[in-house]
Amino acid sequence: MTGHTRMLQITDLHLTTNSHLLYDRIDTWQRLCTALSAADHFSPDAVLVTGDLYNNASLASTELAVLFDKASHELACPVIALPGNHDDSKIAAYGSRRAVSSGPESGDHVYFIGNLRVVTLNTHGQNTLQGYLTDSQLEWLSSILQAEASLGTVLAMHHPPTPTAHEFLSSVGLAEPQRLNRVLNATDVRLIVSGHLHFPTASMLGTIPVWAGPALAYQQNAYAPHGTLQGIDAPGISVLDFFADTHAIVPVPLEVPTALFSRPLPNEPDITQLSGEHHETSH
């Protein structure tokens, strides 16, 4: 595709130590490597990692920065990371080397991906689950948004500022979202990208679309019995395409079920003929 900007979102990695499997089953470091390899298929202009990099703040290490640097080199695009409620929010270097401006909290940065502006915010929540933004952050954000970007602005944060289908998870998003909404009113913000929920959710904050992407570590089962949280092993990433006057988002599962069919696109060679095989098809 031409004439647009593409970002690949990875969220809620919940990295553990190399010797420990998350829930005694999931190698989160290997899963991250799988996601970064999958990114190459989509040729992104940037990779956006929206928090909960680690399962516990004490696990933060330089190993992740090395991995992101390697991926950035191989993908020929920046890897932009921000903290979530499981991360140490005081770490000073969340993506800051690529930033053109920095705000009052670690993780508050401004980037340009071509003519698209990306603003990342630290929504805290390490001891409360529910996220929040300080007055200083909102004042900084307001000052940044006074000048418009050519292709508009994407706002990235860990906690979504909107409710969702699960009653409990709706209570642990961003506190006082109306304060953020007032700052964003009549600005060039075209999308808010978040994580935290562990299942893909599309919503609106005022007139601005909000996307909470599928988690890399595991998903929450929205169909779980009432009164329970149920994690399922169904990792995913998101592909976000930004055009001049619209955007498109595709959640992408990393563990793909058995294909029902595989056939060529229109005007492409018939792969069944090329392979010398013939299968009945139904419509």
How do residues 85-143 score in pLDDT, each as one tens digit? 999 877 655 666 789 999 999 999 999 999 999 999 999 998 888 999 999 999 999 99
- Mean pLDDT rounded to a whole number for the chain: 89
Q: DSSP letter at 257?
A: P
Q: Is the pLDDT of residue 278 over 70?
A: no
Write the Ramachandran bin of 146: left for phi over 0, alpha for psi from -120 to 50, otherwise beta. alpha
Q: What's the chain's Rg over C-alpha atoms? A: 20
Q: Is the pLDDT of residue 1 over 50?
A: no
29/279 Cα distance (integer angstroms): 40
State the pLDDT at residue 153. Answer: 98
pLDDT-derived band at 25, boundaries 50, 70, 90: very high
State the pLDDT at residue 112. Answer: 97
pLDDT-derived band at 58, boundaries 50, 70, 90: confident
**Spatial contact of 220 and 169, defined as CB atoms under 8 Å apart:** yes
| Burial class, 251, CB count within 10 angstroms (exposed 0-12 / middle 13-18 / buried 19+) | middle
168/158 Cα distance (integer angstroms): 17
**Spatial contact of 194 and 156, defined as CB atoms under 8 Å apart:** yes
3-state secondary structure of 80: strand
State the pLDDT at residue 281. Answer: 45
90/110 Cα distance (integer angstroms): 18
The C-alpha angle with vertex 54 and arms to 111 and 171, in degrees rounded to 5, equals 85
CATH topology classification for 5-258: Purple Acid Phosphatase; chain A, domain 2 (3.60.21)
45/5 Cα distance (integer angstroms): 6
Q: DSSP letter at 255?
A: S
For the residues 202-228, what does the mean pLDDT come to?
Answer: 94
Percent of the chain scoring above 70 in pLDDT: 89
The amino acid occupying position 213 is G
pLDDT-derived band at 219, boundaries 50, 70, 90: very high
- Encoded tokens for 135: 């007055």
Domain boundaries in the chain?
5-258
